[in-house]
């Protein structure tokens, strides 16, 4: 009996040591598995489930998170802590979740602890694990761990864009081909379908690329790209379209060589006309200039005749004035001589040489 008692004690001791080293379950602990949520979803949650034995003392539950490329054995700290009869809280390492999650409070009789996401983000795509802290019936501190789980954050298809190569507003039959490339964002990676606007029931391509090899006016029009992905058996689709204008070659603007040919042909008709017009204008200008010159000469002759006439009249007046002046001088001299002669004959008059006057 004593040997059996020692054997049982030895086995219990080994169990305690094993729990401390490996963290295996004395109480059952688990976490919900296969979690897939959409960006922005409000119904994603992490729940730790645990069942403790009556002889065990429940201490706390923690949720641990790690990046997908990391290991849990690297001393990862918890993001959330649940303690019986206390308010559940985020650990400083889980503060990036502030405002986006709520935590459920637990009691000593609780069997689960939940972290609810109100706004799921791409950064929440991580691996998670629950840790259950307790004291066993021997009052030894123990840790039980759940299997890890992963939250996959999925993104419905969005932002569908279409590029055309070559990128032109209008095409003609001289273009070798037109390649249409469709690109959309989403997780899982979107798939694609191509349709022609006038025949949306026929898929013309099942990839993100469609090539218009026969560039004719009949193949112009609107091309539709539909991108889609599936998340939790729900299909998400989004589409976009592009208008391809393939014009009639006769209506397109001429090329440089064609323009040069047209210009040469037109020039052969236009240049002679322009030359004739220039010659007529030059002749008209010469005639007009000649008329002006003749008129100017006539005006110059009239001016010369007028000047000569004025000069002749002036000379005539000067001659008359000179004759008048000479006659007056002669008359004065004659009167003076006559007066002197009269004075000389009059014995009663004497001429005063000082005053220049006659005196009686």
Task: Look up the CATH number of the domain holding residue 134.
Answer: 2.60.40.10
Q: Which of 83-87, 167-171, 310-314: highest mean pLDDT?
A: 83-87
75 falls in which pLDDT band (50, 70, 90)? confident
User: Does any domain span residue 69?
Assistant: yes
Query: Do 31 and 124 belong together in one domain?
Result: yes
Kindly state whether residues 247 and 194 are assigned to the same domain. Answer: yes
Q: Which of 98, 128, 147 is the last residue of a domain?
A: 147
Beta pairing partners, 114: 47
Confidence of residue 118 (pLDDT cuts 50, 70, 90): very high
Asked if the model's pLDDT at residue 322 lies above 60, the reply is yes
171 and 215 Cβ atoms separated by less than 8 Å: yes
**Whether the predicted pLDDT of 45 surpasses 90:** yes
Of the candidates 251, 269, 291, which is a domain's last residue?
251
Distance, in Å, from the CA atom of 244 to the CA atom of 239, rounded to the nearest integer, reads 17
- Beta-sheet pairing, 89-90 with 101-103: unpaired
If one counts the domains in the chain, the total is 2
User: Domain residues for 238?
Assistant: 155-251
Residues 123 and 55 grouped into a single domain: yes
Residue 86 belongs to a domain: yes
Indicate the range of 194-198, 248-252, 282-286 predicted with least confidence: 248-252
Asked which of 229, 251, 273 is the last residue of a domain, the reply is 251
Same structural domain, 221 and 110: no
Q: Does the pLDDT value for residue 11 go beyond 60?
A: no
The pLDDT assigned to 138 comes to: 87
pTM of the model: 0.56
Show contacts of 24-27: CB within 8 Å, 24+ apart: 24/144, 24/145, 25/144, 25/145, 26/53, 26/56, 26/134, 26/136, 26/142, 26/144, 27/51, 27/52, 27/53, 27/56, 27/132, 27/134, 27/144
| Mean pLDDT value of segment 83-95 | 96
pLDDT per position as a tens digit, 132-181: 999 988 889 999 999 999 999 999 999 999 999 999 999 998 889 999 99
């Amino acid at each position: 009996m004593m040997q059996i008692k020692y054997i049982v004690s030895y086995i219990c001791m080994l169990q305690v040591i094993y729990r401390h080293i490996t963290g295996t379950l004395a109480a059952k602990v688990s976490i919900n598995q296969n979690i897939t949520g959409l960006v922005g979803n409000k119904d994603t949650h992490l729940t730790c489930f645990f069942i403790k034995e009556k002889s065990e003392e429940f201490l706390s539950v923690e949720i641990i998170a790690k990046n997908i490329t990391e290991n849990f054995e690297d001393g990862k700290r918890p993001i959330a802590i649940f303690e019986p009869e206390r308010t559940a809280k985020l650990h400083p390492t889980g503060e990036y979740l502030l405002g986006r999650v709520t935590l459920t409070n637990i009691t000593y009789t609780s069997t689960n602890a939940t972290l609810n996401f109100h706004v799921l983000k791409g950064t929440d795509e991580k691996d998670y694990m629950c840790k259950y802290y307790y004291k066993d019936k021997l009052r030894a501190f123990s840790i039980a761990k759940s299997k890890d789980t992963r939250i996959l954050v999925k993104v419905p298809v969005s932002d569908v864009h279409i590029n055309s190569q070559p990128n032109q507003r209008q095409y003609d039959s001289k273009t070798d081909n037109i390649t249409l490339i469709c690109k959309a964002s989403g997780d899982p990676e979107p798939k694609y379908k191509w349709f022609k606007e006038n025949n949306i029931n026929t898929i013309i391509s099942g990839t993100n690329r469609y090539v218009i090899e026969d560039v004719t006016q009949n193949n112009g029009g609107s091309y539709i790209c539909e991108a889609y992905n599936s998340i939790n058996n729900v299909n998400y689709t989004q589409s976009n379209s592009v208008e391809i204008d393939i014009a009639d070659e006769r209506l397109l603007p001429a090329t440089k060589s064609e323009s040069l040919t047209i210009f040469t042909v037109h020039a052969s008709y236009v240049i002679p006309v322009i030359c004739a017009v220039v010659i007529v204008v030059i002749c008209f200008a010469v005639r007009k200039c000649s008329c002006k010159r003749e008129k100017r000469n006539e005006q110059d002759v009239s001016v010369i005749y007028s000047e000569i006439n004025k000069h002749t009249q002036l000379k005539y007046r000067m001659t008359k004035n000179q004759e008048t002046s000479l006659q007056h001088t002669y008359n004065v001299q004659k009167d003076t001589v006559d007066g002197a002669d009269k004075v000389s004959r009059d014995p009663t008059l004497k001429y005063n040489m000082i005053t220049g006057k006659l005196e009686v």
